[in-house]
Structure formats: C-alpha cells, structure tokens
Amino acid sequence: MVELREPDIAEAAAIAELLNRDIQLRADLRCRDDFSTSAEGVLGTLAEWCQAKRAVSYAILADGVAVGVISLSQIDPMTRTGRIGYWVGSAHRRRGHCQAAFELVLREARRRGLREVSASIRRRHLASQRLWESFGATPEPKPTGHLLYTLSLRSVVSDQTSRDRRP
C-alpha cells in the first residue's frame, strides 16, 4: 500500500539514505559527486524549498517504508495551478509506487482547489512521460528540450484508482 506523509525524522533518514547511496537515483537527480545529506539535512532542505516554492512535499511510503518524494509546488491560488515533481529510489521503481503517489497528490491538488497541474519532463524520462500520458496529459516541446505536460484536474475523474491505465 502506498501513502503520502510529510516526512518525520525516520522517513527523512530513509530518504537521505536513498539520496546518499542510490547511484542511479543520484545520476537521475544530477547530484554532485560530493553531495551527501542527513535526515536533518533532508528536513531542512525540504522546509526551505517548500517555503521558497509555495510547496508541500511528501515522503512516498510503500508498506510504511519511504521509497521516494513527491511535491506539489508553485501552488497559485489565483490561477489555481501548481506543479508536480517526484522521484522514487531505483530499487523501488516499476512497482506502481509512483503512479499511486501521483494519484494521491492529484487528490491533494483538487482538495486545495487547483484546476491544473503541470511538469517539465526530460525527454529521456520515458516512465514519467507515460505516467502523465496515462492521465490524459499531452506533451508540448519546450525550447530547453524538455516536454511540458499539463493536466486539467477537471478532466481527471475523482477516483483514479478505479480506472484501468497502462503502467
């Protein structure tokens, strides 16, 4: 079972462990070679980032274990828009954790009154592209080489878990 929770110190320690030791994740996130963090560092960085980006960040928990992070950021109550970003440790991929977390954060976005969410995704991140497309989003090329995905929350049914989608 997947759930989202604002990370406590134990979950932050698990997140730090992933960030420090998961070689594939570090490459995906473009971490510097000398990057290292702690539970306290994770919590501090998330708090600062959330304040600066008008965001909320959650630990992605799979059966009670932190396997990644998902955030709803750039929350704009005037335009009722936001952005979604996420990562999952490489050992926990291809198990549906990110899709379940995405569904949960979409519910949170709707609960906050947002009408639209988006993300800028690198062309090589095919799994993220498939995830957004499975919810009906279509890509728009950006000059940076990324793809901009935008999803109207009005077009997403309330209970995504009841729908069949490709992984």
| Model confidence pLDDT, tens digit, residues 67-85 | 999 999 999 999 999 999 9
The answer to the question of residue 41 being in a domain is: yes
Task: Enter the tokens of residue 110.
Answer: 């709707």
Contact criterion met (CB below 8 Å) for 59 and 105: no
Q: How many domains is the chain built from?
A: 1
Structural domain boundaries, residue 74: 2-162
Provide mean pLDDT across the span 18-37. 95
| Model confidence pLDDT, tens digit, residues 35-65 | 999 999 999 999 999 999 999 999 999 999 9
| Model confidence pLDDT, tens digit, residues 133-160 | 999 998 999 999 899 999 999 876 544 4
The answer to the question of residue 167 being in a domain is: no
pLDDT at 162 over 80: no
- pLDDT the model gives residue 160: 47
- pLDDT the model gives residue 165: 40
- pLDDT the model gives residue 121: 96
Query: Is residue 83 classed as helix, strand or coil in its secondary structure?
Result: strand
- pLDDT the model gives residue 164: 42
The answer to the question of residue 44 being in a domain is: yes
Residue bearing tokens 């932050």: 12
Task: Enter the tokens of residue 130.
Answer: 């498939």
| Model confidence pLDDT, tens digit, residues 106-127 | 999 999 999 999 999 999 899 9
Specify the CATH number for the domain of residue 76: 3.40.630.30
- pLDDT the model gives residue 154: 84
The predicted model scores a pTM of 0.89
State the sign of the Cα–Cα–Cα–Cα dihedral 136, 142, 145, 148. Answer: negative
State the sign of the Cα–Cα–Cα–Cα dihedral 25, 29, 33, 38. Answer: negative
**Angle subtended at Cα 131 by Cα 129 and Cα 134, rounded to the nearest 5 degrees:** 105
